[in-house]
Amino acid sequence: MPMSQLFQPLRLGGLELPNRVVIAPMCQYSAEEGRATDWHTIHLGHLALSGAGLLILEATAVSAEGRISPADLGLYSDDNEAALERVLTATRHHSSMPIAVQISHAGRKASSRAPWEGGSQIHPGEPGGWKTEAPSALAHAKGEDTPTALNSDGLARVRAAFAATARRAARLGLEGIEIHGAHGYLLHQFLSPLSNVRNDEYGGSLENRMRFPLEVFDAVREAFPAERPVWMRLSATDWVPGGWDVEGTIAMSHALKARGCAAIHVTTGGVSPHQQIPLGPGYQLPFARQVKEAVDLPVIGVGLITEPEQAEAVIANGEADAVALARAILYDPRWPWHAAAKLGARVAAPKQYWRSQPREFKDLFAGSAYGQR
């Protein structure tokens, strides 16, 4: 069997991943005032035993008003930091998997209910709701509250919040930071002409709309240790005519590369309820390929990648440098084990589980001594 490309190492800046399977950030809506809970210990602990090359913590708010929901994870206070430290200490005691964090501000999509509660906006006058902020005073959807347009003081406050969260991430020993510039959240709102109608230096032209997200990247890059990578997640298209597109994504990626960005995580959509997304296996990968071909940076691809052979082909065919799994790895938390078995590769597993490998895959677990008394 040819050597699996999916299970080859990948370098993101100063961080070397043992393989190219990435666990994507997945919101859990299970925090308390931004604090990680026992759920996060269980959730992240078992994902950290999966054999993937990198685990990215869910969208983690840089401020209370930047949370998607009242139950979002945050890293904006000492209490938040202490709670996440407890989770990370427990996880790292049993796993050497690199752990990064996605840091985010939800902008006008903040103050929302959890998905299992319908996901609708909680208006400022309702219990648990608050006034949102955005590039422009445009509601995300009909019937939602109009956000406050950020002025110069607000922009400075948000930049500082991203930098402060990056410093907290550094203290926690997190190995990388992904800045969330996708899925219709604040930085994506600045990029898209559908949500940014400012007439100052942060709106109008492509250069102006890119300005604030790039300032945030610079602030985070400066606040995080130079030897640890910082990268960005971008929606390559809004799936709406006249919205953000792949050409803008490529321009943004070039600008990020010039600032020391370590990778681009390519996804799509999220800024408008009018989006028309043609769902199907690997539906976002053509955009990842376009970015990869245009920009000399590692690209992480995502989007209905569910089968090992499919993921292997993504790497082998040059569509992306790594694949990110979300729902697929929630459904099958040992997906990397099963993929390695199918592809003839080896994968890390905790010694307590070494005896579980089937006899036909007796060399599956790196470092294991097969057999039992």
* φ, ψ (nearest 5 deg) of residue 362: -65, -15
One DSSP character per residue, 260-298 reads T---EEEE---S-TT------TTTTHHHHHHHHHHSSS-
Position 363 scores a pLDDT of: 85
Of the candidates 29, 76, 185, 202, the residue annotated as catalytic is: 185
pLDDT at 343: 96
pLDDT at 368: 57
Pick the closest to residue 326 from 90, 6, 55 (CA basis).
Answer: 55
Topology of domain 19-332, CATH: TIM Barrel (3.20.20)
**Coil/strand/helix, residue 177:** strand
- Catalytic (active site) residue 331: no
Please report the pLDDT score of residue 359 as a whole number: 86
Write down the pLDDT at residue 367: 66
Return all residues near 281 (Cβ < 8 A) that are at least 6 apart.
Answer: 304, 305, 306, 310
Q: Where are the domains of the chain?
A: 19-332
Number of Cα atoms under 13 Å in the Cβ half of residue 139: 13
Q: What is the pLDDT of residue 373?
A: 34
Assess contact for 184 and 140: CB atoms under 8 A. yes
Tokens of 190: 């600045």
Report the C-alpha gap between 371 and 293 in whole angstroms: 46
DSSP β-bridge partners for residue 233: 180, 265
Largest CA distance in the chain: 73
pLDDT at residue 307, rounded to an integer: 96
Q: Mean pLDDT by 10-residue block, N- to C-terminus, for the chain (373 residues)? A: 92 97 98 98 96 98 98 98 98 96 98 96 95 98 96 98 98 98 98 98 98 98 98 97 97 98 97 91 94 98 94 96 97 96 94 90 74 39
3-state secondary structure of 303: coil
Q: Which of 51, 96, 47 is nearest to 343 (CA)?
A: 51
Quick one: CA dihedral 326, 327, 329, 333, positive or negative?
A: positive
Rounded distance, CA 323 to CA 37, Å?
A: 28
Strand residue runs (E) in the chain = 10-12, 15-17, 21-23, 54-61, 99-104, 133-134, 148-149, 176-181, 230-235, 264-267, 299-302, 322-325
Write a three-state SS string for 304-344: CCCCHHHHHHHHHCCCCCEEEECHHHHHCCCHHHHHHHHHC
